[in-house]
Chain A
Amino acid sequence: MDGSSPITAEPDSYTTEDGRKIGGVVMEMKNITLRFGGVTAIKDISFDIREGEVRAIIGPNGAGKSSMLNVINGFYHPQEGEIWYLGKKRGPMKPYEIARQGIARTFQNIALFRGMTTLDNIMTGRLTKMKSGIFSQAIWKGRAEAEEIEQREKAERVIDFLEIQHIRKAPVGSLPYGLQKRVELGRALVAEPSLLLLDEPMAGMNVEEKEDMSRFILDVNEEFGTTIALIEHDMGVVMDISDRVVVMDYGAKIGDGTPSEVRNNQKVIDAYLGVSHD
């Protein structure tokens, strides 16, 4: 984050157990309600995401986590409630406008260009930063060339960071699942987001892949100071890597706090383990 950001440290900014300073509010959700026809997917939820933290949204299947992420992402427009981003109230927006504002995301069911190489996929993450016109791109002179070199350098740094040099020129469709997930993270990362949204980054991974991915998420957060909001199924992973956790169940928020607070929250335990009805 650059110094000119409108965020000012607030009194309730905090320091994590491992000594990272968490800043002011980047995004605030106020009383969000989202309906699809007669179905209420999200019921009156409020929470905030602070600068530099790893914020998790968890909950059982159908709790409304992905809908929540899509609201943050601007893909869904809630019927009620306000979203404040970087100190401004956000109206309805197109997804590309959101992307330009510095929010990048990955998808639960990998949405890469399968026939393109890792490098090309990652380069697409820089598209919002490219300014040269179609004509100068076509003749490949001057600005277009300089810009491509600059973007390529950014992409290469991300490739180096995620340790995927060996698949740089491989079509992503041919890669194993865990690596595809990493490429997707790379594409989101190369956009240099101020808020990174991860939709089930560990879904379908084996233990080793999960460990790798956790490591990368923490490294991204630490090295680039990127604020991360993630949805995750795997409770163990969430508790290990996030600073604060929002717990949802049937569209409502049932808990919010540090992993240890959430773990001891009776409502959360009931939602996950079930409760006897006698």
Chain B
Amino acid sequence: MTITQTPSAALPENLNSFPKLLERNANKYGSRPAYREKEFGIWQSWTWTEARDEIHALACGYLTLGVEQGDKIAIAGRNRPHFYWAMIAAQIVGAIPVPVYQDSVADEMAHVMENCGARFAVVQDQEQVDKLLEVADRIPELKQIVYLDPRGMRKYDHSALHNYRDLQAKGREKRKDFDAEIKRRADAVTGDDTAVILYTSGTTGRPKGVVLTNNNVLMTAKNTCEFDNLTENESILAYLPMAWVGDYVFSMAQAMWAGFCVNCPESHDTMQKDLQEVGATYFFAPPRFFEGLLTSVMIRMEDASKTKRKMFNKYIDHAKRIGPALLDGKQVSAGDKLKYKIGQALVYGPLLNATGLSKVRVGYTAGEAIGPEIFEFYRALGINLKQLYGQTEATVFITQQPDGEVQADTVGVPSPGVEIRIADNGEVFYRSPGTFAEYYKNAEATAETKDSEGWVATGDAGFFEPDNGHLRIIDRAKDVGKLNNGSMVAPKYIENKLKFFPDILEAVAFGHERDFCTAFINIDLTAVGNWAERNNIAYASYQELAAHPEVYGTIQNHVEEVNRSLADDPRLYDCQIRRFLVLHKELDADDGEMTRTRKVRRRIIEEKYAPLLTALYDGSESIFIETEVTYEDGRKGVISATLEVRDAVVVAPSAQKVAAE
């Protein structure tokens, strides 16, 4: 089965690279803000003309360092205008930017740098410089490092280290000499040249470098800006990791294409406040953001006065009934509309304002399944929250939901220009203008993923809803397994059902080639901690709280509720969780248990916690385990715990099923 959207027209010749877009924006939107960053408590801003000046100064600075065409420049830092400039400046001098996750440990960073052979790096601060110096002998190619924050850098040997601003100053001095060279190099960049190399988060194995061309990213930007009618008037908050394809597409490609303003938060911890101040109109967040926000709203409402709580509940109930219909432009009675208006004045408006989402015109979530109740909650409040489905290899967009056709359990129709095919085994394939050129220096992996006709395997299993043509994703194709009795297991499907409970942060389900299904569960410290506080339950650590009998009881109720809902599904009733345990530590990317984008690495967890897994299946009631943990600075420690293993009640399948067996 293949579904195709009409292919869109090619890129205009004068807009097929970032240097050209920068020129256009500086000429067309010159005095409009291009970048903002909160620093020293104030929003500092740069217009497109000012941004062009900064970027050119840096490009000239690159030339003084001897950057050649085709060189790779690694970029590691939190979202700051300076790093977006570093990427654009790289393309101006014909180099290729390679954003790196700034929270990756030295070894991961070394792998990326080794693989791409970066000769230069632009990094945030001492921490990043230290990491690079630590692995210097593994990356002999790296010649020069530019750092943005001079703090703590005084004592370093500066023969190969440069302050970002000093480099810009040097560039400004040499501006005249380099003008011709800059122009020559910028003009030489075409649509077929590599725009960026992005390393996949590596759910399986070592990260691979995904090579995206200017045509890939800018065609995608063009198509998707048209799809959602994004213009220069949008405003976004850039807070997701710069090395992630999403941030690259939203804050670089779409922002440059449409000419809208990119706002950078003051620090990681102020994001929520900054979002409120900026009033973003276009907003992307992973489901866990929306979950976390809803949890915190609910916690605060629990603490609110009785009147407020009553008012909140009354109007939220009304919004849940009417809101989505209003958003989709369906018919609603005048009385309901009026009540919704009152609710808006009393509850929804103030609530949205507090969450910083009041101006969001187009909101997206993706990456994981979002709980239908959470999704509907935001839509009920009037936020146009939609879902998309994508991956790095597709320059994000594969499918997305058009306005007015939004559902919690599908991921929408193919994005403009994207063709989708469902293979016989249910795996989803796509072909699009955004389809990546290759995996860098890995022809073998490229050939495995992309066939000669340009079709790319997503690795996900899914199908098109027959009635509306929306794609629905079930699970990773390779994760869908079979129990020993032959019935199907979709672990992620079970995990998602568990994770929809606010108390459960993460879950890992097992069942493939086993007799029944089991699960590891991570509690959500915010939600459970608040509950403990309200119920006078004392705890000293995460571990203690997780092992508390009452917490276990609550989790057991959740598991059993999931079992009840699974029992209704004729295909999945055998997936009910017979036994489970609550883990003594949070699954963490630093320990390799999750990817940097916080997806669980099933196989690693299976290996690392093998004794726990055995305990789940051999009937023991408790199990002792020692786990190695990695602290943020790379040191290691060991925590040990005795975990309780519990049995959950399994609901009998419906009558006719039993008869069939």
On chain B, the residues within 8 Å of A160 by CB distance are 39-40
Which A-chain residue is minimally distant from B270 (CB atoms)? Answer: A166
Question: Does A219 have its Cβ within 8 Å of any Cβ on chain B?
Answer: yes
A157 and B155 within 8 A (CB): no
In terms of DSSP, what is the predominant structure of the interface of chain A? helix
B residues 261-284 touching A (CB-CB < 8 Å): 266-267, 269-270, 273
Which of B151, B152, B269 contacts A165, CB < 8 Å?
Answer: B269
On chain B, the residues within 8 Å of A18 by CB distance are 155
On chain B, the residues within 8 Å of A119 by CB distance are 41
Would you give the shortest CB distance from B529 to chain A, in whole angstroms?
A: 14
On chain B, the residues within 8 Å of A159 by CB distance are 40-41
Question: Does B306 have its Cβ within 8 Å of any Cβ on chain A?
Answer: no
A163 and B40 within 8 A (CB): no
The complex places the Cα of A208 from the Cα of B633 at a distance, in Å, of 10
On chain A, the residues within 8 Å of B152 by CB distance are 219, 222-223
On chain A, the residues within 8 Å of B633 by CB distance are 211
Question: Does A153 have its Cβ within 8 Å of any Cβ on chain B?
Answer: yes
Question: Does B534 have its Cβ within 8 Å of any Cβ on chain A?
Answer: no
One digit per residue, 1 when the CB lies within 8 angstroms of any chain B CB and 0 when it does not, for chain A 146-162 equals: 00000011001101110
A166 and B40 within 8 A (CB): no
In terms of DSSP, what is the predominant structure of the interface of chain B? loop
One digit per residue, 1 when the CB lies within 8 angstroms of any chain A CB and 0 when it does not, for chain B 486-521 equals: 000000000000000000000000000000000000
On chain A, the residues within 8 Å of B267 by CB distance are 163, 165-166
B41 and A222 within 8 A (CB): no
On chain B, the residues within 8 Å of A77 by CB distance are none
A residues 111-163 touching B (CB-CB < 8 Å): 119, 152-153, 156-157, 159-161, 163
**Total number of A residues with any Cβ neighbor in B under 8 Å:** 19
A165 and B266 within 8 A (CB): yes
On chain B, the residues within 8 Å of A168 by CB distance are 41
The complex places the Cα of A161 from the Cα of B155 at a distance, in Å, of 18
Question: Does A19 have its Cβ within 8 Å of any Cβ on chain B?
Answer: yes
B155 and A19 within 8 A (CB): yes
Would you give the shortest CB distance from A252 to chain B, in whole angstroms?
A: 36
Which B-chain residue is minimally distant from A208 (CB atoms)? Answer: B631
B151 and A156 within 8 A (CB): no
B269 and A166 within 8 A (CB): yes
On chain A, the residues within 8 Å of B151 by CB distance are 161, 219, 223
Would you give the shortest CB distance from B2 to chain A, in whole angstroms?
A: 49
B270 and A153 within 8 A (CB): no
On chain B, the residues within 8 Å of A219 by CB distance are 151-152
Question: Does B154 have its Cβ within 8 Å of any Cβ on chain A?
Answer: yes
A222 and B270 within 8 A (CB): no
The complex places the Cα of A168 from the Cα of B270 at a distance, in Å, of 10
On chain A, the residues within 8 Å of B155 by CB distance are 18-19, 222
Would you give the shortest CB distance from B143 to chain A, in whole angstroms?
A: 25
Which B-chain residue is minimally distant from A156 (CB atoms)? Answer: B40
Which B-chain residue is minimally distant from A219 (CB atoms)? Answer: B152
The complex places the Cα of A157 from the Cα of B631 at a distance, in Å, of 29
A residues 182-224 touching B (CB-CB < 8 Å): 208, 211, 219, 222-223
* A and B contact pairs by CB, cutoff 8 A, 30 listed: A19-B155, A119-B41, A152-B41, A153-B40, A156-B40, A156-B41, A156-B42, A157-B40, A159-B40, A159-B41, A160-B39, A160-B40, A161-B151, A163-B267, A165-B41, A165-B267, A165-B269, A165-B270, A166-B266, A166-B267, A166-B269, A166-B270, A208-B631, A211-B633, A219-B152, A222-B152, A222-B154, A222-B155, A223-B151, A223-B154
The chain A residues found within 8 Å of chain B, CB to CB, are 18-19, 119, 152-153, 156-157, 159-161, 163, 165-166, 168, 208, 211, 219, 222-223
- In the A-B complex, the 8 residue pairs with the smallest Cβ-Cβ separation, listed nearest first, are A166-B269, A156-B40, A156-B41, A165-B266, A166-B270, A165-B267, A165-B270, A219-B152
The chain B residues found within 8 Å of chain A, CB to CB, are 39-42, 151-152, 154-155, 266-267, 269-270, 273, 631, 633
If A165-B41, A166-B267, A211-B633 are given as contacts, then 18 extra A-B residue pairs at C-beta distance below 8 Å, sorted by A number, are A18-B155, A19-B155, A152-B41, A153-B40, A156-B42, A160-B39, A160-B40, A161-B151, A163-B267, A165-B267, A166-B269, A166-B273, A208-B631, A219-B152, A222-B152, A222-B154, A223-B151, A223-B152
